Amino acid sequence: MKELGVYIHIPFCSSKCYYCDFVSFSNQDYKIAGYIDYLKREMDLYKEYLKDYTVKTIFIGGGTPSYLEGHFIVEILEHLDKNFNLKQVEEITIEANPGTLNGKKLYQYKGAGINRISLGVQSLNDRLLKSLGRSHTSMDFFRNYELIREMGFNNINVDLIFGLPDQTIEDCINTLKKVIDLGVEHISYYSLILEENTMMKKWYQEGRIQLPQEEIERQMYHRGIDLLKDSGYKHYEISNFSKEGFECKHNLFYWKLKPYIGLGIGAHSNISNKRFWNHSDFKYYYNSLDQGKIPISGEEIIDKDMEIAEYMILGLRLVKGINKKEFANRFKLNIEDIYKGVLDKHEKGGLLYTDHEWVRFTPKGLDLSNLVYVDLLP
């Protein structure tokens, strides 16, 4: 059977963070129960379509999935099990915000098979958390972290953001040190991106906030990488670090261009050379399901040239890079048949390293990756 990743979108949260551009809504708790019912109906529609696939990873994201009562999450996973083949699932992740977890929820998660908790911490400086519109404090994180461990979870990710307004290098490194000292299995270390239609983007354009200079932001990244590596974490993807054996299996489905299905409002899917995405509006999402249709808003057929380009761009996000043999097995072509000129150019420029087995970014290339990506597009 073919392997599949499943993403489930929970769009509810206690408040909208100032930098967030995800499909998420606050103060709409009255919609939760109805939304879960429609989510189940979407699963029902996929049962026949995905009968030849076995699910390897499940990721429940948002929004803030942990904002919901635990029984809703249990219902979702139980219904998924009725419609999808979950016999070989290796990893089930739920995203959680500090302060939204309690013993009852964690007990329910564990009983439902969830074995990985991803905590949206972002910073351990309360002043910075407030400036981001986060609803938790650093103490909320430490309390919830302790509780997660007490409940027996041994695979925890912490999301951190650097390059924040008024953030210093020292503050950034101090947060990292505190998280490392706890012994978390996985750390995602992202640079702040000001997305369109967010409060922070608006404030930046109005001159109300300032971001660190690019040189400072790069120091935050490189000093962070050095600290994480020195602390025993493997740098396996541009922004992701893990202890041995704790890489995020679900995200590897994305980066290796393996098939995945997205369930829920605004969710994206990529399967059988087709990319498609669900309606981002409750009304249209519900109307489609009321008519017995999968709630797709748009789709795109991926031809071979685009598939190869995406495989390269996503694969180069992985620090070990792209395996030439795996490339040849997938596309029945050698990587040099298509990209010899690009590889030679960027190897001479010091952005790529190639040998008889691998193509990967150099440390300099990781910083200037867009220069390579542009040349990979068909």
Tens digit of each residue's pLDDT (9 = 90 or more) over 262-318: 999 999 999 999 999 999 999 999 999 999 999 999 999 999 999 999 999 999 999
pLDDT-derived band of residue 320, with 50, 70 and 90 as boundaries?
A: very high
Q: Which of 11-20, 112-121, 332-341 has the lowest mean pLDDT?
A: 11-20
Which residues in the chain are classed under CATH 3.20.20.70? 2-255
| Average pLDDT value over all residues in the chain | 95
* pLDDT higher than threshold 80 for residue 348: yes
DSSP state, 147? H
> DSSP labels for 285-319?
HHHHHHTT---EEEEEE--HHHHHHHHHHHHTTBT
Which residues in the chain are classed under CATH 1.10.10? 318-376
Mean pLDDT of 114-139: 93
The pLDDT value given to residue 200 = 84
The pLDDT value given to residue 237 = 97
The pLDDT value given to residue 159 = 97
pLDDT-derived band of residue 14, with 50, 70 and 90 as boundaries?
A: confident
Of 36, 20, 8, which is closest to residue 135 (Cα–Cα)?
Answer: 20
CATH class of 2-255: alpha beta
Total residues belonging to the chain: 378
Mean pLDDT of 113-117: 99
The amino acid at 346: H
Fold classification of 318-376 (topology level): Arc Repressor Mutant, subunit A (1.10.10)
CA dihedral 287, 290, 293, 298 (to 10 degrees): 10
Mean pLDDT of 86-91: 98
The pLDDT value given to residue 15 = 84
Partners of 276 in the β-ladder:
269, 299
* pLDDT higher than threshold 80 for residue 21: no
Cα end-to-end distance, the chain, whole Å: 31
Q: Are the C-beta atoms of 256 and 248 separated by less than 8 Å?
A: no
Bridge pairing between strands 274-278 and 91-96:
unpaired
Q: Which of 62-66, 101-105, 201-205, 329-333 has the lowest mean pLDDT?
A: 201-205
The pLDDT value given to residue 198 = 86
Q: Which two tokens stand for residue 66?
A: 């942990």
Strand, helix or coil for residue 243: coil
Bridge pairing between strands 268-271 and 274-278:
antiparallel
Tens digit of each residue's pLDDT (9 = 90 or more) over 167-202: 999 999 999 999 999 999 999 999 998 888 888 888
Of 122, 117, 6, which is closest to residue 57 (Cα–Cα)?
Answer: 6
